[in-house]
Amino acid sequence: GQNIDQPTEMTATEGAIVQINCTYQTSGFNGLFWYQQHAGEAPTFLSYNVLDGLEEKGRFSSFLSRSKGYSYLLLKELQMKDSASYLCAGMDSNYQLIWGAGTKLIIKP
Amino acid sequence: GAVVSQHPSWVICKSGTSVKIECRSLDFQATTMFWYRQFPKQSLMLMATSNEGSKATYEQGVEKDKFLINHASLTLSTLTVTSAHPEDSSFYICSARDGSEGSPLHFGNGTRLTVT
């Protein structure tokens, strides 16, 4: 079956770095997405990886290892506004998104 | 960037009534739109794929007669929750791609439906 695993909740300190891991199992693979979702709001797109390696975009970076079925989202210089849920989604061979349950990130001062 | 507009943002209705939710792609055309539902502290659940000019494709367990989808134009899809019940109370979110199948989804702001 298809599955996305990510931690339920993480806590980090303002100004620090946090890495949110995601492992995936999909029928075929057409990329891995990360979305940010603040409470009560819709998700917003953060990153997309389809090739192995690290994609950097400002304070956020995303990494993919296709051989390991593994990705992570790295957030640097954490700010209070980064408190949100982070959703990992794998795209299968039919271009269908398989969603993880999300990782709730709590930032403490 | 691609903008998806969803209306209304929130709605309260009585049991047995119907509610229509609109989803518009503002600066791009979307032959396909996706309707999701999200219960508190749970992941996004795909309800159906809306196809312009043809019937929607519903996910297993989603009643097509209860959740009516109409995709009449390349920029508008509507979801109508018919004969709503309290268990239909949820956060409904539409989304669309502004490019090929591998491009990211852009989400509307969501509609919080409360059925009393």
A7 and chain B in contact, CB less than 8 A: no
B74 burial via Cβ count (<10 Å: 0-12, 13-18, 19+): middle
B106 and chain A in contact, CB less than 8 A: yes
What's the average model confidence in pLDDT over B50-58?
91
Predicted local confidence at residue B43, as pLDDT: 87
Within 13 Å, how many C-alpha atoms sit on residue B5's CB side?
9
Distance from CA of B110 to the nearest CA of A (A): 6
For residues B52 and A79, the model is more confident at A79
Percent of chain A scored above 90 by pLDDT?
Answer: 94
Q: How far is CA B8 from CA A22, A63, B20, B59, B71, in A?
A: 33, 37, 9, 24, 17
The tokens describing B41, both together, are 């502290």
pLDDT band at B103 (very low <50, low <70, confident <90, very high): confident
Name the phi and psi angles at B87, rounded to 5: -70, -10
For chain A, residues with pLDDT lower than 70 are: none
The tokens describing B54, both together, are 């043809």
Count of beta carbons in the 10 Å neighbourhood of residue B88: 19
The H or E element containing residue A79 is none
pLDDT band at B41 (very low <50, low <70, confident <90, very high): confident
For the stretch B25-37, pLDDT in tens is 999 999 899 999 9
Predicted local confidence at residue A72, as pLDDT: 98
> Cβ separation of B43 and A99 shorter than 8 Å?
yes
A3 and chain B in contact, CB less than 8 A: no
pLDDT band at B16 (very low <50, low <70, confident <90, very high): very high
